Structure 1
Amino acid sequence: MLKRLLIPTRIRLDYLRHNTIKVAAKATVASPLPAAPHVPVLCDKAIEYLKEAPGRTFFDMTFGAGGHTRRLLEALPDAKVYALDRDPVAHQLAQELSETAEYKGRIIPLLGKFSDIPRFFGEQSLAKNSIAGILFDFGCSSMQFDEAERGFSISHDGPLDMRMDGGRSGGLTAADVVAKAEEGDLVKILRIYGEEKAAKKIARAIVDARNGMIKIETTRQLANIVEDALASGPRKDKLQRPAHSATKAFQALRIFVNNELNEINYAMLLANEMLRLDGRLVTITFHSLEDTIVKRHIAGNVTAGAANLMPLKYSSHGLIDDPEMLQSLSETNWRQLHRHVIVPDPAEVARNSRSRSAKLRAAVKISAPPEIYEESTE
């Protein structure tokens, strides 16, 4: 059984340690889903890299609606995929697929976060350095954005939730954060996780609403507060596309609520331990914070310059005190399989507008990783 490398929780905001809000867990498992509610992004390129892996055991670390997994199993009829997702709706779909004649014994559904992988390795009797290929498709799926009750969408009014696991493990909702966080902490959340230049204005507007006894409980309420606070007309994103004023604020809250950057950082460390030599890693990211973490791991630059991404105590890379471990993480175990980052072509963007900001990186594991786990003696 593998032991987890602990990334101390003090890298999250201090107020969470002193103002814990206990929320009852409730899994929002919906009725059976249609066959393919989500269009997989950069699927052809991802499968192209994965099918060259030295083996037939794979991990889809972000199963979603299973688009990438289906294509991989079509390309490799003798392959098996461990399908991980923290979303109970996605997990239900994986379970349903795993019971069909086509996929029986070829899809193994796992419900949990990236940081649960060491536990799953023990439960599934998997060995370190045994997996042929790993796929990450970071970010929310279309299923999450399109379901108003999940609380991710600006365009669909619903409860301000944003928990990717639907509340299965409790935890803070986005409504809890906007209701309880101090103004200074709200500024940091918006600025660091949303890269929001108007963080102070938005945080002030949220606090003013709270002082006016307004409970911010729905996505529409929050979107309207942000829009009124900025009142600067239509915005554009980094690609000069029209964007709602609250897009960055919603991104920030979603990342914070789900502890996404810590999970991604830890998952990249896990991937190095999971893959066999010459194993393939494919990542698909949708914003610069995710992509920065992936780039640093592949380049062996996990710690250097981390403070440039965000102040150290909020750093997505955690606080690791072992000097030998820090040194080992600066010696890359990856070789990137392409010269430039891969993005969707115009035809894919025309078919699926949500692919516009996607970036794919693929790498092969070229040497044994540092010993960041120890064999359990339990």
Structure 2
Amino acid sequence: MFGRLIIRRKVSTLLFNRTFVTNVSSPSGTTNSESNVLENVVNVQPHIPVMAKEVIKALKPESDKTYIDMTFGAGGHTKKILESAPDIKVIALDRDPDARKYMDAVSGMYPNQVIPLCGRFSELPSLLDSINVHADSIDGILFDFGCSSMQFDQPERGFAISADGPLDMRMDKNRYPDEPTAADVLATIDENDLAKIIKVYGGEKKAKKIARTIIDVRHALTPIRTTWELARIVASCFDDHFHMDQMNRPMHNATKTFQALRIFVNNELNEINYGIQCAEKYLKSNGRLVTITFHSLEDTIVKRHIQGQVIQGLANSIALKYVSQLAICEKESIEKIMKSNWKPLYKHVIVPSLKEIDLNPRSRSAKLRAAIKICDENTL
């Protein structure tokens, strides 16, 4: 079951207070000088939208239709959508409060076409209800999963290994001050749970050794509070060899551990799973879903939802692979279980061109999937 991949976010002494916090107001009219400032914020954005042309081709934006950018970031994809046709409306969602200034900037450039929302995928139903958006009413939904470039580029956020900063990693920043940072997790979690997180979420072969070392340092010294402290501790678990990325280039040996902690702290896989369910609920019949993933765990969730391999709301890792071997299941029952509400647009995933990877190295592991929501076999 895929549920095995979603480790319970158990930190022994911490309780999670999930108070709903949001701000959905749109900016009022702006003066010329204000508009210039807003335009400058967008034009000097710290983020290059990945596979922008491929996203527009798959999403196929049209005039007078409504779309949701579920991972707004710095607004690169939203701008491309708005430029595609006149009178498009985009509902812009992001859990990071820092994205709001970019939302306001794009909204200022496209008056009355952008609705900013701050929240997680799991908060989307309440957010949409607050602006009177109902099920089966959206023409297209875009996801660009993972961290944004601007989060990696801010040392104080604690995502990056390359610069020292507090070991935070919360995408929500301080919207939920009672929820644990990465430092809080490392200060309280037990060794076995930490090893599972690093192995499952990071795919790290030396997960047990890294977890043991982190716990030893925690007991012998002081709590681990900065990115460089954690990076050095993890690096000490390796000999002289380096991890290699998908382009066969050396990467820091702590990269997978950082990824694992980030996914755990932000409950990312559960949020992605819920986000795809929300997309199915709010898209119209024939509405389009476009996703960009950056590692296999994200892509697996998307793929299994599109293929209909979902049981009780969770993407099922065994994919009902052996259901046809069960004599008790009749053919009609099997087809009903395997039925998907999605029709894939492409047989295989779309990946960035070599030219794009050269211009934007962070796109190298991106995979794009797209599908159309169908209600029954006669819809298309």
Mind listing any 5+ residue stretches in structure 2 that lack a counterpart? 22-36, 320-333
Contact 2:70–2:121 (CA under 8 A) maintained in structure 1: yes
Contact 2:161–2:228 (CA under 8 A) maintained in structure 1: yes
1:76 to 79, 85, 110: 85
For 2:148 and 2:193, how far apart are their aligned partners in 1? Answer: 28
1:218 to 218, 226, 229: 226
For 1:178 and 1:353, how far apart are their aligned partners in 2? Answer: 30
Higher relative contact order (CA 8 A, sep 6+): 1
Establish whether residue 19 from structure 1 lines up as the match of residue 23 from structure 2.
no
- The match for 1:130 is 137
Establish whether residue 117 from structure 1 lines up as the match of residue 112 from structure 2.
no
Moved more, 85-94 or 235-244: 235-244
Contact 1:277–1:368 (CA under 8 A) maintained in structure 2: no
Establish whether residue 107 from structure 1 lines up as the match of residue 114 from structure 2.
yes
- The match for 1:150 is 157
For 1:128 and 1:78, how far apart are their aligned partners in 2? Answer: 21
Amino acid corresponding to residue 155 of structure 2 in structure 1 = A
Q: TM-score, normalised by structure 1?
A: 0.83
Q: How far 1:97 sits from its partner (Å)?
A: 2.5
- The match for 2:190 is 182
Moved more, 283-292 or 41-50: 41-50
Establish whether residue 363 from structure 1 lines up as the match of residue 371 from structure 2.
yes
Paired-residue identity, %: 51
For 1:267 and 1:14, how far apart are their aligned partners in 2? Answer: 18
Establish whether residue 276 from structure 1 lines up as the match of residue 284 from structure 2.
yes
1:286 to 286, 291, 294: 294
Q: TM-score, normalised by structure 2?
A: 0.83
Give the total of aligned pairs. 338
For 2:202 and 2:83, how far apart are their aligned partners in 1? Answer: 37
For 2:113 and 2:219, how far apart are their aligned partners in 1? Answer: 54
Contact 1:24–1:167 (CA under 8 A) maintained in structure 2: no
For 1:49 and 1:118, how far apart are their aligned partners in 2? Answer: 25
Q: How far 1:96 sits from its partner (Å)?
A: 3.1
SS in 1 for 2:8: coil
SS in 1 for 2:111: coil
Contact 1:51–1:76 (CA under 8 A) maintained in structure 2: no
Amino acid corresponding to residue 291 of structure 2 in structure 1 = T
Q: How far 1:331 sits from its partner (Å)?
A: 2.0
- The match for 2:73 is 64
CA 1:14–1:337: 2 relative to 1, 3 Å:
closer
Contact 1:151–1:219 (CA under 8 A) maintained in structure 2: yes
SS in 1 for 2:208: helix
> What pairs up with 1:160-179 in 2 under 5 angstroms?
160-170=167-177, 171-179=179-187
- The match for 1:375 is none
For 2:374 and 2:315, how far apart are their aligned partners in 1? Answer: 24
Choose 1 or 2 for highest CA Rg. 2
Establish whether residue 230 from structure 1 lines up as the match of residue 225 from structure 2.
no
C-alpha RMSD of the superposition? 2.7
1:339 to 339, 347, 365: 347
Contact 1:162–1:254 (CA under 8 A) maintained in structure 2: yes
- The match for 1:296 is 304
> What pairs up with 1:192-203 in 2 under 5 angstroms?
192-203=200-211
For 2:8 and 2:293, how far apart are their aligned partners in 1? Answer: 24
